[in-house]
Structures are given as structure tokens and as C-alpha cells.
Amino acid sequence: LDQKNEASTMASMSSTLPRKSAHVALASVSVAVVFYKVLIWRARSRARKTVERVQDLIEPGGPLINIHAKEIRERILKRSIRRASTWMTLSAKKAQPMMGQVGGASIHKKPVLSLEREYILKPVLTDHRGLREIAFYEAMEAVAKSPSSPSYSNFLKRNQPKNRFVILHKLGELFDTVALACAMILQDKVVVSSEAAVKSAWRKVRREAEMLHTLCKFTPPYYGIVGLKAPSPDSPFGVTDETHLLLRDLTANYSRPCVMDLKIGTTTYEPDAPSEKKNKEYGKYSQQGLLGFRIVGMRIYNPGHQDADESGYQSFGKQYGRDLSTKDKVKEALKLFLGAGVGQSSKRGGSRTNESSSSQSEAAAAAAAAAAEEVRVKSTSNIFLQVRLIQKWFEDNKALLFCASSLLVVYEGNASCEAPDVTTVKMIDFGRVRRNHHKGDQGYLHGLTTLKALLGEIIQDEEKRLAELGASK
């Protein structure tokens, strides 16, 4: 009987063991499946959040920053206030209205101010354009030393809320990193597509950073904002009527600066502007789309002219530029602007007794040729070369659109000074810059191309005229 019971027990145990093994195997498989699903869920969730976070940095077609995000507005304004405080050793109270400003002479009747000759204070608009212009300058400062994607992304991104459970947060980050790696090895479609979207977004961030880095040399030196101690809670964009941009005065090192303001682009309004705004801008100058630029104003040193002011300058306002109805008239206006000080160069050839007779003859010939100029050829050539450099930047630009931006052209009107051929060409007015990835700004490029072509024609015409004049003698 005992033998029968033992045999029965053994038989029962042998039948139970396979069932337990099956249960264990089934449980293991179930745990593995659940773990896999959790892993993939975490990987996909992390991938989607990463895509959203990176794409939030570069809203397609929008301004460089999210102007409606309070934390971004305040961070940029605080940064620009600190920047000015480190540069500013002078009192803004000493600033005086800038003499001889051309183009947009004032904003809401507030003039641009001159501060100790080397600096200007430009009034900041209290609407979105003012904040966007500050943000544009700060964006260039963020990449001024190096076109680093991380430094630029730190400038663009929102502040992340601090997590109180630091250790748990780090463990979660580690788990998500492992989950993403596993999902990529398994080629999960959602994670793979998200990874491609992240790489594409980062390429755009890097492209913007690189373009802004190279653009720095074509814009005025920027030192922050003054007149604002902290972001104003009473203003929707944090700036007040007393806020000013602190910029380098581009005319500071000139004896008699001749200045021209050109509004560049085939359109001077943003793509999403209302029809009333578009019609208003089109009505200002119907040739804007054809030429790609218009003369907003210019100031020429011409003391012998009957219309010159007490400082010897002729000034031409906005209406003068709007009345230039043909390309030929625009060319003549450019020639007029580039003719300051012609004939003065003969005074510089003076007697130099210690020079050889051949050198004196060459100097006399050069002085005679300069005296016969109707256009300052060397200055015009220098302007031409600087416009060409900016044009090259826009040929490479596939990231940014500049609406209603201007080009400021400066050259020395005193042809008898020590450095008569010094010129400056800089981009100004950045209150309507926005993204336009893969397209860039063809309208601005067209305006620069037209301007460069006209400058080239003026140089060729003048050189041809001087050659014919020399042959006739």
C-alpha cells in the first residue's frame, strides 16, 4: 500500500512540475511584453516631447522668439538691460537730438538721440516691433563669438520648471534614454520618425545661428537698452516710451558724413499683414516691387548749393524718394548723392618739395582727374564692394525674412580730408524679422542686386566720361 501511495505521489509531482514551468514561462513572457510596451511607450512619449520642445524653438514663419511667452520676454529684456549697464558709463540725460538724421527721423515724434558723439539712442516702439528688434540684436549677441547651436537654443527656449524630486527625475531621464536607445535598435517607426524630425529642427537652429553669426559684421554695434530698469508690467511687451536701443553712431568718425537711408525689399510688410496695411505700403512707392528698394532720405554735404543749410548740407526727405518714378530717375538720385565734395580733391595735391618730379606729376594728374569727377568714384567703388558682401550673405540666407528693413549708406563728404574714401554700409531696422526656412529673402536680395547694378553703371559711366575727358586733352 505504501508503495502504491509513493508511486501516486511521484506521478502527481511529475505532472505538476510541467504545469508550474508553463506558468512561470507564461508569467515571464507576460512581464517581458508589459516591460516592452512600457519601454516603447516611454520612448515614444519622450521622442514626441523632444520634437515639440525643439520645434517650439523655431516656429515656422514666425518671429525669432515667442513674443507672447512672458518668461522669454522678461529674460531677453533683463539681459539687454544688464548689457547696457556694463557698457554705459555716460548719463543718458546728456543725450541730445541727433543732427542730420535721414529717413525715419523720429518714432511717434520722438527723435533719435546722440550721446557723446560715438553712440545713439534709438527709441523703441512699445508694440511687438520694439521687442522683436531688441530680441534680434540679442540673438546676434548670443552667437557673436561662435555660431554655437546650444548657445542659440538656450537663448530661444522657454525656462524649464524645476523638479523637486531630483533623484527620481534623473532616474526617469536615464530610463527614457535607455528606452530611446532600445526603440532605435528595434527601429520603432514612431521613434525613428521623431528622431528625423528632431534632427531636421536642429539643422534649422544651427542654420539660423550660423547666419546670424555672419550677419553681425553687417549691422551696427549694439550695447543693450537704456531707459528701462525692469520689464514693465503695464506694457504688453514689457517696454515703455522711455526705452531706447543703445547703438554705435555710424557717422561718428566722419568729418562731413553723407548719409542715405534705403528701404530694401520688394515688399515692406509682413506676409500676414492685413490688406489695409499692404495697400498703404504699396501706395508709398509703386516701384518698390520692380526695383526692390526705395530712397527714404538722404543728406549730402554741398556747402555751395543754394538749398544747403547753415552746416552746408542738402537734405532730401521721404517724398523725394517716392517721386522717383523710373529706374533712370533713381540712378540720377544716386549720382546726386555720390557727388559730394567733387572738385575738392585738387586741394590735396599741394606742393611736396621732397618728392620726385615723376611722383609730383602723378599726384598732379590724379588730383586733376579727381577735380574733374562728377561722382566720387573711389567712395562709390567702396560702397559697391560692401553692398556685394551683404548681397552674398543674402544669397546664402535660407532662414530669415527681413520685412521693412533698411540699408544705411555713409561716406565722407569732405574730399580734402586725410581719409576721403571711407565708407560704411550697414543694415538697420529689425522690428519685423521672421523665419522663412528654405526660402530666405528673395525680395531683399532683388533690391541689393538692383542697387549693386546701378552703382556699377554709375562707376562705369564716370570712368568712361573721365577717360574721354582725358583723351580730349
Give pLDDT, residue 190: 80
End-to-end CA distance of the chain: 145
The single residue listed with the C-alpha cell 502504491 is: 4
Residue 431: which of 229, 243, 249, 211 has the closest Cα?
A: 243
Q: What's the whole-number mean pLDDT along residues 286-292?
A: 95
Tell me the helices (H) and strands (E) count for the chain, helix number first.
Answer: 13, 14
**Residue 23: φ, ψ to 5°:** -65, -40
Give pLDDT, residue 75: 93
How far is Cα 369 from Cα 376, in angstroms, rounded to an integer? 11
pLDDT at residue 40 is higher than 50:
yes
Q: What's the whole-number mean pLDDT along residues 177-198?
A: 81
Give pLDDT, residue 346: 42
Cβ atoms of 83 and 141 closer than 8 Å: yes
**Residue 95: φ, ψ to 5°:** -65, 145
In the predicted model, what is the mean pLDDT of the chain? Answer: 85
* List of residues 6+ apart from 63 with CB closer than 8 A: 128, 132, 135, 433, 434, 435
pLDDT at residue 113 is higher than 80:
yes
pLDDT at residue 137 is higher than 90:
yes
Number of other residues whose CB lies within 10 A of the CB of residue 80: 26
* List of residues 6+ apart from 171 with CB closer than 8 A: none
Number of other residues whose CB lies within 10 A of the CB of residue 112: 21
Residue 226: which of 213, 237, 242, 212 has the closest Cα?
A: 242
Residue type at 96 in one-letter notation: Q
> 52-109, pLDDT tens digit by residue?
777 778 888 889 988 888 999 999 999 999 999 887 666 667 788 887 788 654 445 6
Strand 400-402 and strand 244-248: the pairing is unpaired
pLDDT at residue 341 is higher than 90:
no
Give the angle 263-225-59 at the CA atoms, nearest 5°: 65
What one-character DSSP code corresponds to residue 63?
B
Q: Exposure string (b/e) for 202-227, b if CB count within 10 Å is 16 or more?
A: eebbbbbbbbbbebbeebbebbbbbb
pLDDT-above-70 percentage for the chain: 83
| 3 state DSSP class of 66 | coil
Which range, of 167-176, 281-290, 345-354, averages the lowest pLDDT?
Answer: 345-354
What one-character DSSP code corresponds to residue 217?
G
| 3 state DSSP class of 460 | helix
Confidence band, pLDDT 50/70/90 cuts, at residue 8: low
H-state helical runs in 143-291: 149-156, 166-185, 189-215, 275-284, 288-291
How far is Cα 82 from Cα 89, in angstroms, rounded to an integer? 13
Cβ atoms of 171 and 105 closer than 8 Å: no
Strand 293-301 and strand 313-316: the pairing is antiparallel
Highest mean pLDDT among 25-39, 162-176, 297-311: 297-311
| 3 state DSSP class of 257 | strand
Give the angle 367-370-371 at the CA atoms, nearest 5°: 85
Lookup: cell for 410 = 555713409
Lookup: cell for 159 = 525656462
